């Protein structure tokens, strides 16, 4: 494994890492990172299952309606939270820790802490999802978890992030590469926004719509900035690897970084919100300026890979390529719907959840699949073994996202137009939207199948590794891992 | 272990970003700005907003929710009603109606004003001036200035006029509310259940729109009994169905013909269902505020 290509010029002899060789780095990551991946896969299946249940309710409202925990208003937030906290954060942190260890050429710090942190995080998600299903939701989107769940998540995160920061501090490579900026910033970002939001909403609540403003602010900082930082950090690490050359421009990546943090963090207040008008206006400006991110990322990656990435047949580059496209559509959609004139029609429609799904399942989850299919075989010393099932997963994931987001977006626009046409009775508006919601069930089904296949693929890799460890000692575990 | 310097040309742009503290502080700066703008400033501006003064009465709006309605808000939150129902009314603007309240003493002057400034196709008679006051003489004037200029013609003739502020927009045309929602409407709501979607209709003003408790209970138990082809799931778990005893319960739901439980059974709402309906009935946005003026309909 070579170091991050943006930081080690080819003219300079590659330094051997003095502290740890690459097998050593992988060995230090094995248990903690695979634990995070396994947890992520579990919640991905749970989240996708809940999504399917919620979706079927639009075919038959009475489906599972007499069992309170599975009523639509509980199962839908449970689905989003299981995906966001159970899958996205865990997969994101697993990938982050591995990339930080690789690019730092240092063993993962505190592997035991990460393992405990991962268990604690899963406990937090379990308590949180349980509270949502049990009727204990806080009523704020993406902050529905009960306080017990949130506290567990917070401490678990501190353990996980601490490991990442210490790994970076122990680096044996003099310079920091682009993906390290993104991933480190993300490690810091989440506790800031999460403590602000949970403290001001749950512990010492502020009053009235200020609560809603903070919840919107958090949701955007989580969905766009945090997922954006982790996703882009991963993409900026993997794409140069796939292309076999260094990232085209560090400066452009720095601009992207600055805009995503500086202006991306302003977006998220809906144009129609019952708050002082400057708030949505400022927010729309942030969303609009975030378009620079899309342009800069697209240009930077295009210059890096040329025509190479698209023709590549391995699964990881395919996932990453799709993810970049989804990110572009997601940011474009966010910027467009932030304009007051557009929001007058698209506000309160299915276009909003369509964009959320595009960011979460489209951009982020797809990038994570690509990364896990790249990382997990290395961690389990089983390179290239899951290329075929991973490719099948890609062909379940892509139509899954398209069939989920496409109908919701088109249905949402139609719904918005019908809602502004006041002569159309509301019942007719709903009736016209239903076929689109029903079509999106197909997307949910594909995504659930994809999630199951992902879990099976990952499970097979992990089982293979365990078998090897038990069969021939030392094949999978190295001395250094035992020592750490 | 960390060696500095020796950067190559392609690293210059992000050279300073090789240092961990620089990454930390640049992220922190971005966070601090965002926190300042979207957490601190809103809290400073509307976080300590007092209750609104309505009709000269201080701290009059919004009214605190009575106990049962307050519990109902918890049922609403727990069951995720906010997933499908928004509670915010949007408004595209205001139009103004000019109402003649008193014709004064110089009726001919008022009649002249009417014939000169109102609908030229109509020839007004003196009886139009005196009969059935107050009378809306101009409807939906697009700007306040134009409405005031017109009403001035009448005050100059010695009459008295009223300017009515009529909020407009698709939400209001649908009958979902009287005016747009503003921050002051949610002062008692923790959490404010604003919602982001309208899978079902907006509920900001459902208490004024649909005041009948039995309608709400039947709708919760069996939505399609009162709304044809409703996509809302039934909330039967908020009710108990039991055999009718010696005397039917006074609390039993009254269903439209063809709906309801089988013969000999009655549906009784639980406390949760009753609280939820009390909450729905308490949802009303009916006060004219400084930031969202409207002329309230006669009560």
Backbone φ, ψ for residue B163 (5° rounding): -105, 120
CB atoms A266 and B233 under 8 Å: no
Portion 237-296 of A in contact with B at CB < 8 A: 246, 249-251, 253-254, 258, 261-262, 265-266, 268-270, 272-276, 279, 282-283
Query: What are A375-379's contacts with CB under 8 Å, separation 24+?
Result: A375/A33, A375/A37, A375/A94, A375/A95, A375/A98, A376/A34, A376/A37, A376/A458, A376/A461, A376/A462, A377/A461, A378/A1, A378/A26, A379/A26, A379/A29, A379/A30, A379/A33, A379/A34, A379/A98, A379/A465
Summarised one tens digit per residue, pLDDT across range A140-195 is 999 999 999 999 999 999 999 999 999 999 999 888 899 999 999 999 999 999 99
Provide the pLDDT for residue A296.
95
pLDDT band at B194 (very low <50, low <70, confident <90, very high): very high
* Confidence check: pLDDT of B214 > 70: yes
Q: Is B205 left (phi over 0), alpha (psi -120 to 50) or beta?
A: alpha
**Domains of chain B: residue spans and CATH:** 67-90+174-282 (1.10.760.10), 94-168 (3.30.1390.10)
Q: What is the mean pLDDT of residues B209-220?
A: 96
Alpha-carbon gap, residue A251 to A258, rounded angstroms: 10
Give the pLDDT of residue A448: 98
Residue pair A216/A274 in contact by the 8 Å Cβ criterion = no
Q: What's chain B's Rg over C-alpha atoms?
A: 29
B17 contacts on A by Cβ (under 8 Å): 176, 181, 254
Q: CB distance B24–A184 less than 8 Å?
A: yes
**Chain A interface, best mutation among B7, B41, B192, B273, by max A CB count within 10 A:** B192
Contact between chains at A347 and B90 (C-beta distance less than 8 A): yes
Contact B20 A168 (CB under 8 A): yes
Is some CB atom of chain B closer than 8 A to the CB atom of A138?
yes
Q: Is the pLDDT of residue A2 over 70?
A: no
Whether residue A10 is predicted with pLDDT greater than 80 in this model: the reply is no
Task: Give the C-alpha separation, A344 to B134, whole Å.
Answer: 36
Residue A79 clears pLDDT 70, i.e. is over it: yes
Residue B77 pLDDT grade (very low, low, confident, very high; cuts 50, 70, 90): very high
Q: What is the mean pLDDT of residues A281-298?
A: 95
Helices H / strands E in chain A, number of each = 19, 0
pLDDT (0 to 100) of residue B102: 86
Contacts of B182 in chain A (CB under 8 A): 274
Residue A171 φ then ψ, to 5°:
-65, 145
- How far A466 CA sits from the closest chain B CA (Å)? 35
* Confidence (pLDDT) at A312: 62
Answer yes or no: do B31 and A193 touch at CB < 8 A: yes
Tens of pLDDT along B249-279? 999 999 999 999 998 999 999 999 999 999 9
Cβ pairs bridging A and B (under 8 Å) = 243
Instruction: Output the pLDDT for position A15.
Output: 41
Interatomic CA distance for residues B214 and A51, integer angstroms: 33
Q: What is the pLDDT of residue B299?
A: 52
CA-nearest residue of chain A to B188? A208
Most confident of A92-101, B134-143, B255-264: A92-101
CA distance A181 to chain B (A): 6
- ipTM score assigned to the predicted complex: 0.91
For A242-265, how does the pLDDT look when each residue is reduced to its tens digit (9 = 90+)? 888 899 999 999 999 999 999 999
**Ranges A75-79, A131-135, B211-215, B295-299: which has the least confidence:** B295-299
pLDDT for A16: 41
Using one digit for the tens of pLDDT, what is the confidence trace for A415-468?
999 999 999 999 999 999 999 999 999 999 999 999 999 999 999 999 988 888
User: What is the pLDDT confidence band of residue B113, given thresholds at 50, 70 and 90?
Assistant: confident
Q: How confident is the model at residue A481 (pLDDT cuts 50, 70, 90)?
A: very low
Query: What integer pLDDT is reported at residue A73 of this predicted model?
Result: 96
B10 contacts in chain A (CB < 8 Å): 9, 246, 250
Whether pLDDT at A474 is above 60: no
**Averaged confidence pLDDT in chain B:** 89
| Alpha-carbon gap: A320 to the closest alpha carbon of chain B (Å) | 24
Find, among A310, A319, A463, the residue nearest to A387 by Cα: A319
Q: What is the pLDDT of residue A384?
A: 58
In order of start, what are the domains of chain A with their CATH numbers?
22-478 (1.20.210.10)
Distance CA A472, CA A452 (A): 30
Q: Which residues partner with B136 through β-bridges?
A: B99
**Any B CB within 8 A of A58 CB:** yes
pLDDT tens digit sequence for A356-396: 999 999 999 999 999 999 999 999 887 656 788 999 999 99
Q: What is the mean pLDDT of chain A?
A: 90
Strands (E), A56-210: none
> What is the DSSP-derived secondary structure letter of residue B257?
T
Q: B38 vs A217: CB contact, 8 Å cut-off?
A: yes
Measured torsion, CA atoms of residues A274, A283, A198, A109, in degrees rounded to the nearest 10: 170
Of A275, A276, A36, give the one whose Cα is nearest residue A163.
A36
Report the pLDDT value the prediction gives residue B14, as an integer from 0 to 100: 58
Nearest to B30 among A214, A261, A434 (CB): A261
Percent of chain A with pLDDT over 70: 91
> How close does chain B come to A124, measured CA to CA in Å?
19
Which member of B35, B181, B231 has the closest CB to residue A61?
Answer: B231
Instruction: State mean pLDDT over A210-215.
Output: 96
**Residue numbers in A near B18 (CB within 8 A):** 174-176
Over range A228-236, report the average pLDDT.
97
A475 has pLDDT over 90: no
Task: Work out the number of other CB atoms within 10 angstroms of the CB of residue B67.
Answer: 10
Give SS3 for A43.
Answer: helix
Of B8, B18, B49, the CB nearest to A176: B18
Q: What is the pLDDT of residue A307?
A: 66
The pLDDT-based confidence of B115 (bands split at 50, 70, 90) is confident
Q: Which residues of A touch B62 (CB under 8 A)?
A: none
HSE-CB of B52 using CA atoms within 13 angstroms: 22
Whether residue B195 and residue A71 make contact (CB cut-off 8 A), yes or no, is no
Q: Do A172 and B77 touch (CB under 8 A)?
A: no
Is residue B10 scored above 60 in pLDDT? Answer: no
Q: What is the pLDDT of residue A308?
A: 59
- With CB atoms and an 8 Å threshold, state whether A175 touches B7: yes
* Nearest chain A CA: its distance from B93 CA (Å): 12
Residue B294: asked if its preceding bond is cis (omega within 30°), the reply is: no
Nearest-Cα residue of chain A relative to residue B48: A207
Q: Which residue of A has its CA nearest to B176?
A: A426
Percent of chain B with pLDDT over 90: 59
pLDDT bucket at B244, cuts 50 / 70 / 90: very high
Distance to chain B for A396, nearest Cα, Å: 28
Instruction: Grade residue B135 by pLDDT with cuts at 50, 70 and 90.
Output: confident
Give the CA count within 13 Å in the CB-facing half-sphere of B240.
Answer: 8
Q: Left if phi > 0, otherwise alpha if psi is -120 to 50, otherwise beta: which for B257?
A: beta
């Amino acid at each position: 494994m070579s170091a991050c290509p943006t930081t080690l010029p080819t003219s300079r002899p590659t330094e051997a890492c003095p502290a740890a060789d690459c097998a050593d780095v992988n060995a230090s990551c094995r248990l903690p990172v695979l634990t995070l991946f396994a947890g992520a896969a579990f919640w991905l299946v749970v989240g996708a299952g809940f999504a399917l249940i919620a979706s079927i309710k639009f075919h038959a409202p009475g489906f599972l309606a007499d069992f309170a925990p599975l009523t639509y208003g509980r199962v839908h937030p449970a689905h989003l939270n299981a995906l966001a906290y159970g899958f996205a954060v865990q997969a994101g942190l697993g990938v982050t820790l591995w990339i930080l260890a690789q690019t730092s050429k240092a063993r993962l710090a505190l592997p035991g802490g990460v393992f405990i942190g991962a268990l604690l995080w899963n406990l937090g998600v379990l308590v949180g999802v349980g509270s949502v299903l049990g009727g204990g939701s806080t009523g704020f989107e993406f902050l529905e978890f009960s306080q017990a769940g949130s506290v567990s998540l917070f401490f678990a995160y501190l353990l996980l992030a601490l490991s990442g920061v210490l790994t970076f501090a122990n680096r044996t490579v003099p310079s920091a590469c682009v993906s390290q900026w993104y991933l480190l910033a993300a490690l810091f970002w989440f506790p800031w926004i999460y403590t602000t939001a949970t403290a001001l909403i749950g512990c010492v609540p502020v009053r009235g719509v200020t609560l809603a403003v903070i919840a919107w602010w958090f949701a955007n900082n989580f969905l766009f900035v945090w997922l954006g930082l982790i996703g882009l950090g991963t993409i900026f690490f993997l794409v140069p690897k796939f292309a076999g050359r260094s990232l085209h421009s560090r400066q452009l990546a720095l601009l992207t970084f600055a805009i995503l943090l500086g202006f991306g963090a302003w977006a998220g207040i809906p144009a129609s919100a019952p708050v002082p008008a400057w708030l949505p206006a400022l927010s729309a400006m942030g969303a609009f300026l975030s378009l620079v991110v899309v342009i800069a990322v697209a240009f930077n990656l295009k210059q890096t890979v040329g025509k190479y990435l698209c023709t590549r047949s391995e699964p990881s580059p395919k996932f990453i390529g799709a993810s970049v496209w989804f990110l572009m559509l997601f940011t474009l959609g966010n910027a467009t719907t932030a304009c007051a004139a557009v929001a007058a029609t698209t506000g309160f429609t299915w276009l909003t959840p369509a964009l959320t799904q595009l960011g979460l399942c489209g951009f982020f989850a797809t990038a994570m699949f690509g990364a896990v299919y790249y990382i997990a075989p290395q961690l389990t010393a089983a390179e290239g073994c899951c290329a075929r099932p991973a490719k099948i997963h890609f062909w379940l994931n892509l139509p899954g996202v398209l069939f989920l987001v496409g109908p919701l977006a088109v249905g949402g626009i139609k719904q918005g137009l019908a809602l502004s046409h006041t002569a159309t009775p509301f019942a007719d508006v709903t009736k016209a939207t239903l076929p689109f919601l029903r079509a999106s069930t197909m997307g949910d089904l594909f995504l659930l199948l994809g999630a199951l296949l992902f879990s099976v693929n990952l499970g097979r890799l992990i089982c293979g590794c365990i078998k090897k460890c038990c069969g021939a000692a030392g094949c999978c575990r190295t001395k250094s891992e035992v020592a750490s | 272990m960390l060696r500095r310097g020796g950067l190559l040309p392609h690293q210059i742009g992000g050279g300073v970003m090789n240092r961990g503290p620089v990454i930390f502080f640049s992220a922190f700066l971005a966070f601090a700005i965002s926190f300042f703008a979207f957490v601190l400033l809103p809290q400073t501006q509307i976080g300590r907003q007092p209750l609104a003064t309505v009709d000269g009465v201080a701290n009059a709006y919004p009214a605190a929710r009575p106990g049962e309605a307050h519990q109902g808000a918890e049922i609403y939150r727990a069951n995720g009603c906010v997933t499908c129902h928004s509670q915010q009314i949007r408004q595209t603007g205001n139009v103004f109606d000019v109402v003649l309240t008193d014709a004064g003493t110089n009726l001919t002057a008022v009649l002249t004003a009417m014939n000169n400034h109102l609908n030229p196709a109509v020839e007004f008679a003196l009886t139009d001036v005196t009969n059935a006051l107050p009378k809306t003489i101009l409807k939906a004037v697009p700007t306040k200035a134009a409405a005031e200029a017109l009403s001035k013609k009448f005050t100059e003739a010695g009459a008295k006029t009223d300017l009515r502020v009529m909020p407009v927009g698709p939400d209001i045309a649908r009958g979902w509310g009287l005016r747009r929602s503003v921050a002051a409407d949610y002062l008692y709501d923790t959490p404010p259940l604003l919602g982001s979607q309208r899978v079902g209709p907006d509920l900001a003003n459902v208490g004024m729109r649909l005041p009948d408790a039995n309608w709400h209970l039947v709708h919760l138990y069996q939505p399609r009994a009162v709304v044809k082809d409703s996509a809302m799931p039934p909330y039967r778990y908020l009710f108990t169905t039991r055999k009718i005893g010696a005397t039917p319960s006074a609390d039993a739901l009254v269903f439209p013909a063809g709906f309801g439980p089988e013969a000999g059974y009655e549906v009784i709402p639980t406390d949760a269902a009753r609280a939820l309906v009390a909450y729905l009935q308490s949802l009303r946005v009916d006060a004219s505020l400084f930031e969202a003026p409207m002329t309230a309909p006669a009560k």
